[in-house]
Each structure stands twice: as C-alpha cells, then as structure tokens.
Structure 1
Amino acid sequence: MLSKEQDSIESYINSPEKLKKLYKRVLFVVSLSQIFGGAGLAAGITVGALLAQQMLGTDAYAGVPSALITIGSAGAALIVGRLSQRYGRRTGLSTGFIVGGLGSIGVVIAALMNNVILLFACLLIYGAGTATNLQARYAGTDLANKKQRATAISTTMVMTTFGAVAGPNLVEIMGEFALFIGVPALSGPFILSAAAFILAGLVLFIMLRPDPLEIAKRIAAYKQENAQANNSYSPNKTNNKRGLAVGATVMVLTQIVMIAIMTMTPVHMKHNGHGLAAIGIVIGFHIGSMYLPSLITGVLVDKVGRTAMSIASGITLLFAGLLAAFAPSDSMILLVIALSLLGLGWNFGLISGTAQIVDSTEPSTRAKTQGTLDVFIALAGASGGALSGVVVANTSFVTLSLGGGLLSLLLIPAVIWSRRGKVLTNSINQKSV
C-alpha cells in the first residue's frame, strides 16, 4: 500500500493538469517573493558606499561595500544551492533571504554604533539576500517543461523589477524614518532591506508547498525507474557537460561586459561635464533594459531557441560597446541607447544561459550545480567592475567599451560549438539505434 507522500507524488505524475496548476502556483509564489527581494537590493546599490564614506570620513574605501556584498553573494550562492539540493528550494531560498535580512539589521546597528568592522561583516551577510534573489529565478523552472523554462525565468525577473524600482525611490522616505527613530539617515534603506528580505523569506517558507524541486526530483526518479524497467534509459552525460559549459560561458561573459561598461559610464560622463541627473537618467534606462524586456525575451528563448538568443546577446553587446566607445561624449541620447543595448544584451544572455543550465541538469543535482555556477557569475561581476577601473585609468573609456564589445563576440563560437556537439551526438545515437 502506498504511503500518503508517495500517493501525493503519483497524483502529480498521473495528472498533468494537477502538475500544471502546481507549476503556476509555484511561479506566483516565487514572483511574489521576488518583488520583496528586489526592494531589498536597493540599499546596497544606492547607499552602501555612501554609508562607508560617512563612517570612515574618506573616499578611499567607498568601493569596499560593493566588494564585500559581492563576496558575500558568491559564498551565499554556493550555500543556498547546496541547502536547496539537500532540503528543497523552500528551505534554501527562505534561509538565504532571512539571513540577508539579518545582515541588513546588522548594518543598521553598525551605523548606530559607528562600528566600521561590524559594518563590513554585516555587508558580507547582507550579500546572502542578493545571491538568493538571483537564485530564486531557478525555482520557477523546476516544474516547467523545456518550452516553458525561459518564460518562467523571465517572469520572475520582471517581478524583481517592481521591487528594484520601488526601493531606490523610497530611499529619502526611509532616511527620514531612520532619523525619526534615532539612527543615521543612510541606514534607513537597510531597514527597508531587512523588512523586504525577511518578508521574501517568509513568503517562500509559508507558501512554497509542496516543494517544486522535491516534486521534480521524484518525478524524474519515477520516470528513470520506468525507463530502466523498459530498457529505454540512456543518460547522456556528455551533452549535459557541454550544455553547462556553454550556459555558464554565456552568463559569465555577459556579466563581465555589462558590469565593466556600466561601472565606468558614470565616471566617463562626469569627466565630460554631465551632472548627476543626466547620469541617473542613463543608468535608469540601463537598469530598465536589464529587466523589463524579460517577458518578451523569455518567449523568444523558448520559441526561437537558446542558441539564437545567445548569439543575439553577443551581437547586441557588441553594438552597445561600439556605440559607447564612439558616441560623442556630450550626446546624452547616444549614451542612453548604448546603455540600453548593454542592458538588453545582458538580459538576452542571462535568460538564454540560465535556460541552458536548467536544460543540462537533472533534478537530482540541479540546485547544487546552479548554486556553484552563480558563484562564477558573482565573481565575474566583481572582476568586471574591478578591472574596468584599471583599464580606463591606463587607457580610456573608449578602449574599455571596444574591448567589452569584442569580448562579447566569444559567445558566438561558444554556442556554435555547443550546437555542433549536439548534432554529432544525435548522429551517433541514431547510428547506434
């Protein structure tokens, strides 16, 4: 006689309609958590450097918060991935968000005590929230079929936009609230982050039942047992490794190029006489282009294919680099277009690369692998940001933009190599049959 749990799993296997309803529910819950998670990102991006500058009384270490958040994010991506693999998405993601919220509370306490060491330690912990916000995009894909995965990824990314846009607009209000309760104004956005990250974690902990990754693992095991019983099970590990390599390459390269050019654009503009308002407009268009096209991008990746959209990412980033390099320094319109293309190219690359990663992993190892790869994405972003300053200091913004655009072209041979490998494998399989 089947146990209640086994009976529940079999009900999803035997009822595609029930599984479809669960998939939609999971996507709704993850999307809801992403709205809160996006709002939690605002503090680190907006005032982290300013808070360190105020507490230290110097500009020399203003870049340290960004580095610490990135390092914390990389470490957390690894841990959240492993927690998710062992205990399910619900446990891994809710833990990551809540830990990020506790880090935000620690930043507020550090500001109140004027303790720089505590500030830096808590910024590392705060990085767990940013890592988890990125990891959550995978949860919506666990129960999606291959033709739905990119759309699921893009849906969660669009939901992140709402929080990410709302967060910075609440900075001034949260600063006033911070002063009202007797803490430094610049710590106010971290109060918002604490509430947002903890709410995101609670939404997932309470509502993400049954766990989508656990269901996906058991459905995969059930299908494998049936296939083995019918002598039709033939795992193809070479294809998986190739797909992982290409998916990771696409995401890492797009992250390096995007972060490098984006980081130095405000510096380039300031040196050429643009004010903070103009810089804000350009970066605002850039961030909008990173997330808002996601719904369309997801449909294109599912319909047109991962390979085509990865190539489109490389070409779009190339045009962004060329335009940023050769646009007249006083042309706001061309800089807006260049940074918008940069965000769009990143969007194409992240969604197509993520879809390839999901395609290339089995549920039994999926979350662990995804967490490991997100470490490389975080470190790629940190490297792109750090190296961009060195390149511009020793050459120019033109050189950086051209170099980034040309680097993005490596995506094309990478995905063609993947495609050739798939064709070759299919040919061998057909001959063996």
Structure 2
Amino acid sequence: MDLKQLRLVMPLATCQAALLTNNIVVIGLNGLVGYALLGEDKSLATLPIATYIAGTAAMTFPASLWMRRFGRRHGFLVGTAIGLLGALICIAALFMSSFVILCIGTLLIGAYNAFGQYYRFAAAEMSGREFAGRAISMVLAGGIVGAIVGPEVAKRTKDLFAVQFAGTYIFLACLALVALAIQASLRLPIIKDEMEQSESRPISQIARQPGFIMAVLSSTLGYAGMSMLMTSAPIAMISHHHGYADAAFVIQWHALAMFAPSFVTGALIKRAGAAAIIRLGALLMLACAVAAVILGTGVNAFWVSLVLLGVGWNFLYVGGSTLLTKNYRTSEGAKAQAFHDQTVFLSTAISTALSGWLLQRVGWQTLLGLTAALATIVLLGSVWFTEPNRKGAQLARESR
C-alpha cells in the first residue's frame, strides 16, 4: 500500500473509529439501560441492542444501493446524520423513561452503522484486490480508538446528569457531529463501474460460489456468536454480583481484542490465505467457550473468555470480508457486499434478541455452548472450502 492510498484510507479509519466508539458504547450500554427501564420481567433487556442490529440489517441493501447511485461520500454523510438523530431520540427516551422510544433511537443508530459498514469496502476499492485485506484491516484498526475511548467515556459520563446515562448519549451525538465534519471534507476517487464492460450476474449465481458461501458463513456465524456473548456479558456479570466498572473493564478489553489484531490480520491473510485465518478464528472462538467453562464466573474468567472471543471475531470477520472481495466482479460489488452484510446483521439481530431471553431462562453456560456450536460449524465449513478454489481464481482474473 503506497503513501497515496494510505492518505485516502486514514480518513476512513478515523470515521471508522468514531463509528466503532459509538457501536461499542451502544452495545455495552443499551442492555443495561433496557434492564433499568423494564419492570420485574427483564427478559427483553437486550432488545434495544437487537433493534440497533436490526436497523443495520434493514438498511444494508438500501445503503449500498444509495451509495451506488450517489457515491460513497454522500452515503456516509446521510448515514451519520441518521445516527445523530438516533442519539438525540435515545436522550429523549431516557428523560421520558420510555423503553419503546429507546428502541426507536437505537434502530436509527443501527441504520448509521449500516452505512458505516462500507468504510472497509471503500478502502478495499481504492487499494485494489492485491491489498484489499490490508486496507480492510487498517480501517477496522480504527476500532482500537473505540475500544479505549468507548468504555471510558461511558464510565465518566453516565452520571453527568440527574438521568443516568443521558451524558453518554449526548457524547454519542457529539461524536456523530465530528464524523460529519470529516466526511464533509472527504475526497474519494470514483470507482469506474464496469457494468458496460462485463456482465453482472444475478446474486443467486454469485452466492453459489464456494468462496462466497465460506465468506458469508465465516462473517455471519462469527459476528452472531460474538454479539450474543458480548451483549449478554455485562448483564451476566451484574447478575453474578460484579460491578459496572468490572463489566466496563471486560468489554473494553474485549473490544481491544476485536480490533488490535487488525494491524497484522491483513498481512497474515496475504501470507497464509483467508481460509487458514478463518479456521484460526473459529478455534479461538471455541477456546473462548472452553476457557469460560473451566474458569467459572469470576471477573478474570469473563476477561479471558471475551479477549479470546474478540480475537476470534477479528480473524473470522476480516477473513470473511477479504474472501468476499475475491468472489465478485467490480460491477457486482454493491449487491454482493449488501447481501453479505445484510445476512451478517440479520443473523446477529436474531442472536442478540435471543441472548437476553436465553441468559435469563437457561444461563450463561448455555450461551457459551451455543457459541461453541457456531464456531464448530465455521470450522467444518473452512475444512470443506480449500482456498484458492478454481472459481474464485477465475473470477479474480476476469475482474482485473
């Protein structure tokens, strides 16, 4: 990756840092806020997180089509403005003590996340297929800022006002304004559409490729399993008599583990291949469940298991996203990326919505078992898929 590409990618990484700070705070906070706003039955406590992810899933295709028509920069501006509105609605929900309005606000913040998911693909487009993995990794590395800043801000702003956590959502609104300022000055090169030069296949044909199937499987099950544990972990820790500071500490380290490997994941993929990194990610997710079962429910047990979970997610998600870019032509990018991300976040919304209910009904250990099952499916799938496959290699040659 040359200096010119680096200069183009860095603003995207900065926007990603703002987005992921928002996301980490939302995921770590909304379950607790939902828990506080509900009555005796707390089984819907993670619903505000599920609506956030549902907003992402619902807007993934529209966001991709919007950017295809109006450009990446315009799409990023629209998405961030929606996120700003969502944060303001969440503030109103807290002052009104309304669980329903909170869910509406998080739904809109999820739409912001849908647009922001394309930061990594914008970076990959600018860097070319050879450096796509490194570009995706570099953008996702912006999440380290979110991992450090997010939990700390949540701790320091939760009691700024008489209504607990109102200050945190005000911070999220200010963060969206910063992202808007960066995007207003963002200059992205126009990626030439090859629709007139090559045939664009239907998504049903694209999705039948072994490499595409493996990419979607890795990203989807990795994200769903990670989110199921991440969203329920703070509630599980509170129920095991740990304090909010302990929960924030664990989530902070989990988020660091999610994004810190991004500095090397791209290079590892270039050296060993996406399939090998996906297998390693699945093994780490399995290790997360095993470690939690062995170590119990102390703070250290949560810390170890969620750090392993974070690194596993990084390898699964970056590996899946990189593999995806090798299995479509440039003219097919919008629908292939949208199909991938919509599948990821629809599945994650379901797993997140169920996590609070499952935690209350069957407990933390069962959630660990379900995550281990998802990791096993990915591991078996990665054994079935051997990279590079002939179809993926042929497609890469056609798209050059």
Give the TM interval when normalised to the shorter protein.
0.7 to 0.9
Q: 1:361 maps to which residue?
A: 328
Q: 2:165 maps to which residue?
A: 186
Q: 1:251 maps to which residue?
A: 219
CA distance in 2, matches of 1:87, 1:364: 16
Q: Which runs of 5+ in 2 are unaligned?
A: 395-400
Q: 1:154 maps to which residue?
A: 137
Q: 1:208 maps to which residue?
A: 186
Return closer, same or farther for 1:87/1:284 CA change in 2, 3 Å cut-off. Answer: same
Q: AA paired with 2:191? A: A
CA distance in 2, matches of 1:234, 1:394: 47
CA distance in 1, matches of 2:253, 2:17: 20
Q: AA paired with 2:225? A: V
CA distance in 2, matches of 1:120, 1:95: 20
Determine which of 14, 17, 26 is the counterpart of 1:44.
26
CA distance in 2, matches of 1:264, 1:162: 23
Determine which of 376, 382, 387 is the counterpart of 2:349.
382
Return closer, same or farther for 1:249/1:194 CA change in 2, 3 Å cut-off. Answer: same
Return closer, same or farther for 1:217/1:103 CA change in 2, 3 Å cut-off. Answer: same
Determine which of 24, 28, 32 is the counterpart of 2:10.
28
Return closer, same or farther for 1:163/1:282 CA change in 2, 3 Å cut-off. Answer: closer
SS of structure 2 residue aligned to 1:361: coil
Determine which of 288, 294, 303 is the counterpart of 1:336.
303
Return closer, same or farther for 1:32/1:328 CA change in 2, 3 Å cut-off. Answer: closer
Q: Which moved more, 1:386-395 or 1:81-90?
A: 386-395
- 4+ runs deviating over 6 angstroms: 233-240, 424-427
Q: 1:88 maps to which residue?
A: 71
CA distance in 1, matches of 2:239, 2:378: 32
Contact 2:151 2:249 in 1 (8 A): no
Does 2:80 match 1:97?
yes
Deviation at 1:250, TM superposition (A): 0.4
Deviation at 1:350, TM superposition (A): 0.4
Q: 2:398 maps to which residue?
A: none
CA distance in 2, matches of 1:94, 1:202: 9
CA distance in 1, matches of 2:25, 2:284: 30
Q: AA paired with 1:97? A: T
Deviation at 1:260, TM superposition (A): 2.7
Return closer, same or farther for 1:311/1:338 CA change in 2, 3 Å cut-off. Answer: same
Return closer, same or farther for 1:186/1:94 CA change in 2, 3 Å cut-off. Answer: same
Contact 1:85 1:368 in 2 (8 A): no
CA distance in 2, matches of 1:68, 1:113: 19
CA distance in 1, matches of 2:215, 2:278: 9
Deviation at 1:368, TM superposition (A): 3.3
Cα offsets for 1:31-86 (capped at 9, x unmatched): 12122223333552344345555556666453332222122122222221111122
Percent identity, aligned pairs only, is: 24
Q: 1:77 maps to which residue?
A: 60
Map 1:296-335 to 2 at 5 A: 296-330=264-298, 332-335=299-302
Q: How many residues align structurally?
A: 391
SS of structure 2 residue aligned to 1:216: coil
Q: Which runs of 5+ in 1 are unaligned?
A: 1-16, 428-433
Query: What TM-score do you get using the length of structure 2 for normalisation?
Result: 0.84
Asked which structure has the greater CA Rg, the reply is 1
Q: 1:348 maps to which residue?
A: 315
Return closer, same or farther for 1:23/1:251 CA change in 2, 3 Å cut-off. Answer: same
Deviation at 1:247, TM superposition (A): 0.7
Contact 1:77 1:375 in 2 (8 A): yes
Determine which of 116, 140, 164 is the counterpart of 1:133.
116
Deviation at 1:122, TM superposition (A): 2.6
Determine which of 405, 420, 424 is the counterpart of 2:372.
405
